[in-house]
Structure 1
Amino acid sequence: MTVSTNVLTMEDDPVVRETIAAYLTDEGYNVIQAESGLQGLSLIQDRSIDVVLLDWRLPDISGGEVLSKLAGVNPTLPIIVVSGTDEVREVIDALKRGAWDYLRKPLKNMDILVDAIRRGLARAQRLKETALEGEHLKELVRSRTEELERANALLRREAKERQEYAAALKESEARFRQLVETVREAFFVRNALTKEFTYVSPAATEMFGLTPDQLALNSELLFELLHPDDREEAWKRASQIGCSSVPASFEYRFVVGAEKKIKWIGFRIFPVCDANGTIYRQVGVAEDITERKYAHDALCASLREKDILFKEVHHRVKNNLQLVSSLLSLQAQRISNLEDRERFLDSQRRIQSMTLVHEELYRTDDLSCIDFSYYVEQLARRIEQAFSATVPVELTVDLERIHLSVDTAVPCGLILNELISNVYKHAFVGRESGRLYLYAGLRDGAIVLKVVDDGIGFPAYFDVRESNSLGMQVVHALVEQLSAKLVITSDRGTEFELAFSDSSLCLLPNCAG
């Protein structure tokens, strides 16, 4: 945090706004106040803003509209929602629109706000640095690749001329020398039988610290410069290249000069055949790729750090949700009214369904999506355990291996939580046992979820949109959020079938590592 850090508060309550401004000013921040969303958007256009504190309910436009506008224009601007509501739909909506954090008013401990601002500023800085590094790396790779492709095109043309015009070999070699001696890459021609260099371009002197004449007299000097850890593999590859009729490319470390500087050198070698198809020469190019290699390693390290950070975020979110779940459980134990206690337990199970998503994300290597089949089975088993004291239910699961994004998995989990819980609570009233069947898979270009029981069923006129049950209202809202289709069939039990577009699927790469 520096003295020039500007924090914009969008808050229509003057008491809350002045309280936050006073506290942050004492912490060294420059606070700019806005009492409405439009005023805040105008200030952002005129001023340099580093962090935005956004009330979700503003008098003119909603916090969601403000958030969408800001996130679309500047995705690296930290936006922290400070709201008096903690409804799940609004929290999810805020995070989907681009909120970096969501704090609940009243802020009893202002240090939480300061900590959220600091984390937002740190994350914004990392994002900007990563973007700059990525752009620099892409530009460098593009530039060097274009140069190498141009040189390779010329080499291929030269090789073809050698095959087709054997009588003009000397003239072709003269043109080749004129070309390669003007570029930074080191070009070479090697006798395929004796392994001796017949030509090495002057660029080899700067690259390896050896003159073309030195390499021509003793080709083994190049192997002596190899890093000790790369020598064995280089010798094996050299023996393979000698008899190979296909181009080869590889990278090795070389220890160069009196200062023992380590360089990464990339090679591309092309065989040249005579009229009988016998390889008699090898033409190649060597390029110093040290900077590109280090830049790539730095980018990979940055990406690994980001993955670790995201995993830690999901781990903390999971822990916080588990804490909330435990608090609801403790509160439920203190309530004597069974109906009120069940409301608390319903809320606890909803939170546990979201906790499972973050737990799965922390467990997996791919932070963009989760193994939904594994998630559904874990969710069903936990609900089964929670209702183990009621009617015994035979649970059967039929789950295809599909992966869903987090934005889809969370509402699907909440829907399944409500439907499965309702089965245990209502489907087998007056029965000694029951059966429950769960299905998740792909069908006709759609993802299909089924919850089927052999219980007492719903009335024929039942409509989930008209239900007064909070659980059914949650189901209806989330079905609309997914743009899904929900079909309810009540015949010898009840079947809920939910279908939505397979565009929510995560396409995982088919590779190892």
Structure 2
Amino acid sequence: MTLSIRMHTLNQDAGRVHSTHVTDSTPGIFPGPGESIPIPAVSFRRREVMNSSCEGAGTLLLVEEETRTILDRKEILERNGYRVLTAHTDEEALDVLHTTPGIDLILMDIELGGGMDGAETAVKILDDRDLPVLFFVPRTRCEAVKKTGGVTSYGYIMEDAGEAVLVASVRTACRNFRKRLQEKNEEEALRESEARLQLAVQCAGIGLWDQDFQRGTVIRNREWAEMIGYTPEEIESGLHRFLALIHPDDLPRIKAIIREHEAGDVPFFRVEHRMRTKEGGWKWILNMGRIVQRDPEGKPIRAAGVHLDITDRKLAEQEIERQLAEKEVLLREVHHRIKNNIASVHGLLSLQAQSVTTPEARAVLQDAIGRVQSMRMLYDNLLLDSGYQNLSARRYLDALIDSIVRLFPEEKGVRIEKHLDDFRLDTRRLFYVGVIVNELLTNVMKHGFFEKSRGLIRIRAKKERSRVVLVVQDNGKGFPEGFGTENTKGLGLTLIGMLTQQLGGKITFENRDGARSVLVFDVNPK
């Protein structure tokens, strides 16, 4: 099996198109550097097939020296629906052609009088116009046919032929001429298509390959070879040569992908791999292909595909990955230092809280410790998570709630129930939620219960479609009258109000078998 471009040549005498297969070894099929591809002019209006079919109607030019003969033939043809123009000499015939458009066929005596015979006149006419020509030949002068050897003719009619033969010959000649023009149009379209394909392949640097499974060969074009520094003549046609050029680390993966395609599991294959160049370096190749022919048992017979050089793209991707890795290391170091600084602040506040003796001062310090703790937990999660844009709300809130409860060791009788959905939020919004949870939970632990040994706090965070609902519910004594974020002087409620506004959400406080706080906000605010 070979990679071929089907070239068509027109045999004008026979009116047939002949096909020739040209393999990649033929010089010039895939031009190299410095060579040009001849592109036929675009024919927006190709050679027209005759508008009026002269098989049953049309305009004919009858060239005959004898007046009587020309009149008889003109009468026969007109009786069969043709329009007939006449000329007695070669000069008259040329004048009629130059002044009369739309002539469909010429009938000409092979032996004209005057300066030129019929064959010579036909040659001159065909240099100017592409028309079918029929020659009248005397029965006694058949050797005169030899004169037309260099003329594209569409048949010969004996001078004494009857009406049926004459009309049938005209119709046959017109039919053959129409067919030849159609073939010329198809040939021209094919040449233009092939030339544009070659131009696209050359300009895009596309390597083409065509594999014959039965022969065990792979034919490749010039671009395929030059992509890795070779000439087409230096590349063997066997599959083993291709496999030998693939990077050893990529080869098992490529074989597995191709086997999957050959088995019919996927309609085509697409794989990126490295290939060794002639100079010994490596280039990244995008290899795409598919099996285009199988035998009745489903075994592959032929496959075809393309190679694209993606080395520049891969190098750019690797550079981006390297820079991202460097920035990730730097970012982790920054987060680690910030976390340590927050831990230092947390430790200092804790020491201060242990050293004070007044309950009021201790309460203020515990509030500050809780707020710092929410920041500390956020940075702990940043260091654990591979992505810095969004974090797990469940993991963050779960650890934060436990750390807040530990700030109140004297409240060991309070039971905590957590119902947290696993969804992700960006770090800014998650921090706001953490501060709100800290303020609500701290308030409950400090002021929410009559009997601390029987206290219960339920915390629920749930994602409902495009919004998040956070509920903090206790079974304590409830909120005092007028409790809320409006017109408050307390720092905790002020923070809750400000952060709720930043979230674009709404928070409500109600008494329902204890105190109940509900925060609602959209995951993707407008």
Range of TM-score over shorter length: 0.5 to 0.7
**Cα distance in structure 2, aligned partners of 1:405 and 1:293:** 31
Equivalent residues of 2:414, 2:453 under 8 A apart: no
Specify the SS of the correspondent of 2:275.
Answer: strand
Does the alignment pair 1:370 with 2:391?
yes
For residue 249 of structure 1, the aligned residue among 247, 267, 270 is: 270
Does the alignment pair 1:440 with 2:461?
yes
Could you tell me which residue of structure 2 aligns to residue 262 of structure 1? 282
Specify the SS of the correspondent of 1:432.
Answer: helix
Give how far 1:242 is off: 4.5
**Cα distance in structure 2, aligned partners of 1:430 and 1:398:** 24
Does the alignment pair 1:226 with 2:228?
no
Could you tell me which residue of structure 1 aligns to residue 81 of structure 2? none
Residue ranges of structure 1 left out of the alignment (5+ in a row): 1-166, 506-513
For residue 407 of structure 1, the aligned residue among 428, 452, 459 is: 428
Equivalent residues of 1:364, 1:370 under 8 A apart: yes
Could you tell me which residue of structure 1 aligns to residue 176 of structure 2? none
Structure 1 residue identity aligned to 2:440: L
Q: Report Cα offsets for 1:134-190 as digits up to 9, x if no partner.
A: xxxxxxxxxxxxxxxxxxxxxxxxxxxxxxxxx99x989965556535542221222
Could you tell me which residue of structure 2 aligns to residue 348 of structure 1? 369
Does the alignment pair 1:473 with 2:509?
no
Instruction: Give 1:9-24 correspondences, 5 Å limit.
Output: none
For residue 215 of structure 2, the aligned residue among 194, 202, 206 is: 194
**Cα 1:243–1:396, aligned 2, differ >3 Å: closer, same or farther?**
closer
Equivalent residues of 1:181, 1:201 under 8 A apart: no
Equivalent residues of 2:225, 2:235 under 8 A apart: no
Q: Report Cα offsets for 1:21-67 as digits up to 9, x if no partner.
A: xxxxxxxxxxxxxxxxxxxxxxxxxxxxxxxxxxxxxxxxxxxxxxx
**Cα 1:504–1:393, aligned 2, differ >3 Å: closer, same or farther?**
farther
**Cα distance in structure 2, aligned partners of 1:391 and 1:209:** 77
Could you tell me which residue of structure 2 aligns to residue 50 of structure 1? none
**Cα distance in structure 2, aligned partners of 1:404 and 1:235:** 42
Give how far 1:232 is off: 3.6
Residue ranges of structure 2 left out of the alignment (5+ in a row): 1-185
Between structures 1 and 2, the one with greater helix share: 1
Give how far 1:454 is off: 0.7
Specify the SS of the correspondent of 2:235.
Answer: helix
Could you tell me which residue of structure 2 aligns to residue 42 of structure 1? none
Does the alignment pair 1:211 with 2:254?
no
**Cα 1:195–1:424, aligned 2, differ >3 Å: closer, same or farther?**
same
Give how far 1:215 is off: 3.4
For residue 327 of structure 1, the aligned residue among 322, 325, 348 is: 348
For residue 484 of structure 1, the aligned residue among 502, 505, 508 is: 505
**Cα 1:342–1:217, aligned 2, differ >3 Å: closer, same or farther?**
closer
Q: With the length of structure 2 as denominator, give the TM-score of the two structures.
A: 0.58
Structure 2 residue identity aligned to 1:470: L
Give how far 1:230 is off: 2.9
Could you tell me which residue of structure 2 aligns to residue 495 of structure 1? 516
Equivalent residues of 1:434, 1:453 under 8 A apart: yes
Give how far 1:334 is off: 3.1
Specify the SS of the correspondent of 2:411.
Answer: coil
Give how far 1:228 is off: 2.6
Could you tell me which residue of structure 2 aligns to residue 111 of structure 1? none
Give how far 1:314 is off: 2.1
Equivalent residues of 1:183, 1:203 under 8 A apart: no
Equivalent residues of 1:391, 1:428 under 8 A apart: no
Structure 1 residue identity aligned to 2:324: L
**Cα distance in structure 1, aligned partners of 2:199 and 2:310:** 24
Equivalent residues of 1:248, 1:269 under 8 A apart: yes
**Cα distance in structure 1, aligned partners of 2:218 and 2:203:** 19
**Cα 1:406–1:221, aligned 2, differ >3 Å: closer, same or farther?**
same
**Cα 1:212–1:324, aligned 2, differ >3 Å: closer, same or farther?**
same
Give how far 1:470 is off: 2.1
Give how far 1:433 is off: 2.2
**Cα distance in structure 1, aligned partners of 2:236 and 2:262:** 18
**Cα distance in structure 1, aligned partners of 2:412 and 2:255:** 72
Alignment RMSD (CA, Å): 3.1
**Cα distance in structure 1, aligned partners of 2:303 and 2:459:** 63
Structure 2 residue identity aligned to 1:488: F
For residue 297 of structure 1, the aligned residue among 318, 336, 342 is: 318
**Cα distance in structure 1, aligned partners of 2:256 and 2:349:** 65
Could you tell me which residue of structure 2 aligns to residue 24 of structure 1? none
**Cα distance in structure 2, aligned partners of 1:373 and 1:504:** 21
Could you tell me which residue of structure 2 aligns to residue 427 of structure 1? 448
Could you tell me which residue of structure 1 aligns to residue 117 of structure 2? none
Instruction: Give 1:70-109 correspondences, 5 Å limit.
Output: none
Identity of aligned residues (%): 28
Q: With the length of structure 1 as denominator, give the TM-score of the two structures.
A: 0.60
Structure 2 residue identity aligned to 1:340: A
**Cα distance in structure 1, aligned partners of 2:249 and 2:386:** 30
Specify the SS of the correspondent of 1:442.
Answer: strand
**Cα distance in structure 1, aligned partners of 2:489 and 2:257:** 73
Give how far 1:323 is off: 0.9
Equivalent residues of 1:453, 1:495 under 8 A apart: yes
Could you tell me which residue of structure 2 aligns to residue 134 of structure 1? none
**Cα 1:504–1:329, aligned 2, differ >3 Å: closer, same or farther?**
farther
Give how far 1:225 is off: 1.9
**Cα distance in structure 2, aligned partners of 1:222 and 1:172:** 32
Equivalent residues of 2:507, 2:517 under 8 A apart: yes
Specify the SS of the correspondent of 1:467.
Answer: coil
Q: Report Cα offsets for 1:222-262 as digits up to 9, x if no partner.
A: 222222333344444455555547221112222222x4212
Q: Report Cα offsets for 1:184-243 as digits up to 9, x if no partner.
A: 222122224323124x21123322344324435434222222223333444444555555
**Cα distance in structure 1, aligned partners of 2:263 and 2:410:** 74
Could you tell me which residue of structure 1 aligns to residue 328 of structure 2? 307
Equivalent residues of 2:479, 2:515 under 8 A apart: yes
How many residues align? The count is 338
Does the alignment pair 1:339 with 2:339?
no
Give how far 1:338 is off: 2.1
Q: Report Cα offsets for 1:325-356 as digits up to 9, x if no partner.
A: 11112222333322122212211111111111
